[in-house]
């Protein structure tokens, strides 16, 4: 009996320590979620237009905006969009002037890369992005083609794309809008068009063309929402909301509405 | 068989003694709580950017995530060295003499003590892993297994270092002071508290930190142990991934050999 009581005493102390450490893991490390709930609104910085992620139209606001609305509903708060003209205007995000006071979430083309994670936390990926090519008919190769390139505000590697296309012997013409890209292909000024994958699938579906990923040398990324570093309680709540939306099929439905069938 | 039985007995004695030592247990839990909870949360805001695109250190993790592997190493180191104090304890109370006259070889006796201390240190390292959720360090079972492997090698090396110190210092007080004088500088100069930004060239690093500090960090073997743990726990290495395990295994062999040499002479 004394042996049992000694063992219970020894392992009881270990149990107490483990319980204490486990209890600590449930302490909130910051007030970010509390602040969002107190303000009853989730503020998101988005570009004015980056179809199909942000369209600027009230009836079809865009994939990212609809997804953020669904996340806000799950958090029991409203969604306030802060449309920022500077987003995507140049390569250096510092020049966009986004700060913590303006928004809690950055959306509209944030990709899950080391570079993004150096400045922001990232929520779970909800779609895949990368450079994709569209054309009226399947292409045998890229060499000698004349292509229109639409980059918009994408966080994808534009320099890598330019180097790849030069080395592949492709003639490039940069276009500014999806309409310009479609018109260029339809009028045979371009053999094909290259743009972000979700937009490419949407355009291809609308025009009954074919869309395909660019070769794997050009990296593909997960599309995510960016959150400020250290805002862990808000990140956990948004992660949970996105996982729930993925589980109940909401994300697939929104993706289908905006981007059509995902590329294989 | 006799040697194996003796090895097991000595190992079990060290482990059971640690289980009964409430002070050691409290220390093993309070260190990670203080370092992760208070220091990590306290300094976290100073290492993040307030504007997108601006950060002092352009690294894909938070400060809390950055120091987490360092705190694992700290807990392993403190417990390893504390375990080695049992050498002085055993010498003081005559237990060592009794063991030395047994048929067990000195290598077995030393190995039993070091493995026992290492096991306790490893368990204390695992205590820190419980705080992974708090520090936002997502761990897969594979990550945990790899971390346990690295902690086992680190704890073996540091317990051997502790035995080397204990063989040279004869009093409890002296051991406590000397071990702190070794452990704390080793820890603080192991890049566990502040990152040497891997994106910078050596010349650029010298602009951020004084040359002597960068040199100490680079020559500190613990730097590579912490880096290996960081590679496994937050998937980020400042140095080549193979360096950590190579340095740790090398230090384990060297320190155990020195401890054995001292132990045979004692």
Domains A32-128+221-259 and A133-213 share a fold: yes
| Residue B244 pLDDT exceeds 80 | yes
Taking the CA atoms of residue B184, residue B186, residue B192 and residue B197 in that order, the dihedral angle to the nearest 10 degrees is: 140
Q: Which pLDDT does position B231 carry in this prediction?
A: 93
CA distance A95 to chain B (A): 8
User: By C-alpha distance, which of A224, A227, A225, A226 is closest to A30?
Assistant: A227
Query: Measuring CA to CA, how many Å separate A158 from each of A91, A149, A195, B43, B242?
Result: 9, 10, 10, 36, 33
Q: Of A245-254, B201-210, B214-223, which gets the smallest average pLDDT?
A: B201-210
Q: Which pLDDT does position A235 carry in this prediction?
A: 93
In what helix (H) or strand (E) does residue A39 lie, and over which residues does it extend?
helix A32-39
The nearest alpha carbon in chain B to A30 belongs to B41
B189 located within any domain: yes
**Cα A232 to the center of its chain, rounded Å:** 18
Which two tokens mark B235? 């998937």
The answer to whether B33 contacts chain A (CB < 8 Å) is yes
- CA-CA-CA-CA torsion sign (A101, B55, A130, A253): negative
Q: Which pLDDT does position A115 carry in this prediction?
A: 80
CA dist B247 and B155 (Å) reads: 13
For residue range B32-50, what is the model confidence (pLDDT) as tens digits?
Answer: 888 888 888 888 777 777 7
CA dist B71 and B64 (Å) reads: 10
B152 located within any domain: yes
Residue B223 C-beta-side C-alpha neighbours within 13 Å = 20
User: By C-alpha distance, which of A6, A88, A76, A89 is closest to A34?
Assistant: A76
Q: 3-state DSSP call for residue B215? A: helix
B52 located within any domain: no
Q: Which pLDDT does position B119 carry in this prediction?
A: 95
User: By C-alpha distance, which of A96, A119, A113 is closest to A224?
Assistant: A113
Please give the ipTM for the structure prediction: 0.72
For residue range B181-201, what is the model confidence (pLDDT) as tens digits?
Answer: 888 888 899 888 877 765 556
B51 located within any domain: no
Is A96:B52 a contact under the CB 8 Å cutoff? yes
Choose, out of A101, A115, A232, A237, the residue to mutate when testing the contact with B (most B CBs < 10 Å): A232
For chain A, give every domain's residue range: 32-128+221-259, 133-213
Domain count within chain B: 1
For residue range A103-117, what is the model confidence (pLDDT) as tens digits?
Answer: 999 998 888 888 888
Interchain pair A98, B51: CB under 8 A: yes
For residue range B116-127, what is the model confidence (pLDDT) as tens digits?
Answer: 999 999 999 999
Q: Which fold has domain A133-213?
A: D-Maltodextrin-Binding Protein; domain 2 (3.40.190)
| Residues of chain A scoring pLDDT < 70 | 1-2, 88-91, 153-154, 260-262, 264
Contacts of B29 in chain A (CB under 8 A): 17, 20-21
Residue found under tokens 């047994």: B102
B57 located within any domain: no
B50 located within any domain: no
Which two tokens mark A33? 């979620």
- Percent of chain B clearing pLDDT 90 (strictly above): 35
Q: Which fold has domain A32-128+221-259?
A: D-Maltodextrin-Binding Protein; domain 2 (3.40.190)
For residue range B124-161, what is the model confidence (pLDDT) as tens digits?
Answer: 999 999 999 888 898 999 999 999 999 999 999 999 99
| Residue B54 pLDDT exceeds 80 | no
Residue found under tokens 């960090």: B217
B49 located within any domain: no
Q: Which pLDDT does position B198 carry in this prediction?
A: 58
Contacts of A228 in chain B (CB under 8 A): 48
* Domain boundaries, position B172: 2-44+64-265
Q: Which pLDDT does position B168 carry in this prediction?
A: 83
Q: Of A180-189, B17-26, B244-253, which gets the smallest average pLDDT?
A: B17-26
The answer to whether B59 contacts chain A (CB < 8 Å) is yes
What's the average model confidence in pLDDT over B96-107?
83
B83 located within any domain: yes
Q: Are strands A171-174 and A146-149 parallel, antiparallel or unpaired?
A: parallel
- β-sheet with A171-174: strand ranges across: A171-174, A146-149, A192-196, A131-135, A210-213
Q: What is the mean pLDDT of chain B?
A: 86
The nearest alpha carbon in chain B to A115 belongs to B60
Which position has the higher pLDDT, B53 or B68?
B68
The answer to whether A91 contacts chain B (CB < 8 Å) is no
């Amino acid at each position: 009996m004394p042996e049992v009581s000694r063992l219970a005493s020894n392992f009881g102390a270990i149990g107490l320590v483990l319980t204490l450490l486990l209890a600590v893991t449930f302490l909130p490390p910051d007030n970010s979620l509390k602040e969002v709930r107190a303000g009853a609104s989730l503020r998101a910085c988005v570009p004015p237009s980056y179809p199909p992620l942000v369209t600027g139209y009230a009836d079809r606001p865009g994939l990212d905006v609809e997804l953020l609305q669904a996340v806000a509903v799950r958090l029991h708060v409203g969604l306030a969009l802060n449309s920022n003209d500077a987003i995507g205007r140049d390569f250096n995000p510092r020049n966009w002037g986004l700060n913590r006071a303006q928004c809690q979430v950055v959306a509209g083309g944030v990709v899950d890369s080391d570079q993004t994670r150096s400045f922001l936390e990232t929520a779970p990926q909800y779609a895949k992005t990368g450079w994709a090519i569209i054309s009226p008919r399947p292409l045998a190769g890229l060499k000698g083609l004349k292509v229109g390139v639409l980059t918009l505000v994408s966080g994808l590697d534009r320099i890598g794309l330019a180097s790849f296309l030069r080395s592949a012997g492709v003639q490039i013409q940069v276009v500014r809008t999806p309409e310009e890209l479609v018109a260029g292909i339809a009028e045979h000024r371009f053999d094909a068009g290259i743009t972000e994958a979700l937009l490419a699938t949407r355009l291809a579906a609308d025009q009954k063309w074919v869309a395909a990923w660019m070769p794997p040398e050009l990296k593909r990324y997960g599309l995510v929402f960016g959150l400020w570093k250290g805002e862990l309680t808000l990140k956990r709540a948004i992660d949970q909301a996105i996982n729930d939306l993925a589980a109940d099929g909401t994300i697939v439905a929104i993706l289908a509405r905006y981007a059509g069938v995902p590329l294989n | 068989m006799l040697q194996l039985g003796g090895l097991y007995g000595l190992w079990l004695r060290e482990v059971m003694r640690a289980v009964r030592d409430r002070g050691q247990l409290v220390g093993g839990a309070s260190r990670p709580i203080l370092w992760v909870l208070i220091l990590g949360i306290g300094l976290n805001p100073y290492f993040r950017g307030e504007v997108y695109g601006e950060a002092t250190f352009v690294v894909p993790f938070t400060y809390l995530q950055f120091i987490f592997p360092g705190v694992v190493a700290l807990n392993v180191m403190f417990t390893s060295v504390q375990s080695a104090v049992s050498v002085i304890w055993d010498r003081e109370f005559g237990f060592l003499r009794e063991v030395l006259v047994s048929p067990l070889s000195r290598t077995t006796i030393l190995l039993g003590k070091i493995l026992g201390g290492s096991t306790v240190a490893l368990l204390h390292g695992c205590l820190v892993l419980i705080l992974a959720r708090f520090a936002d360090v997502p761990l897969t079972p594979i990550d945990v297994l790899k971390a346990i492997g690295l902690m086992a090698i680190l704890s073996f090396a540091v317990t051997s270092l502790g035995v080397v110190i204990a063989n040279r210092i004869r009093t409890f007080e002296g051991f406590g002071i000397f071990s702190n004088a070794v452990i704390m500088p080793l820890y603080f100069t192991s890049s566990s508290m502040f990152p040497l930004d891997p994106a910078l060239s050596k010349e650029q690093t010298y602009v951020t930190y004084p040359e002597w500090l960068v040199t100490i960090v680079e020559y500190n073997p613990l730097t590579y142990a912490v880096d290996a743990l960081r590679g496994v726990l937050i998937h980020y290495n400042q140095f080549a991934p193979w360096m950590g395990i190579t340095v740790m295994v090398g230090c384990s062999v060297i320190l155990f050999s020195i401890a054995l040499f001292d132990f045979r002479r004692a």
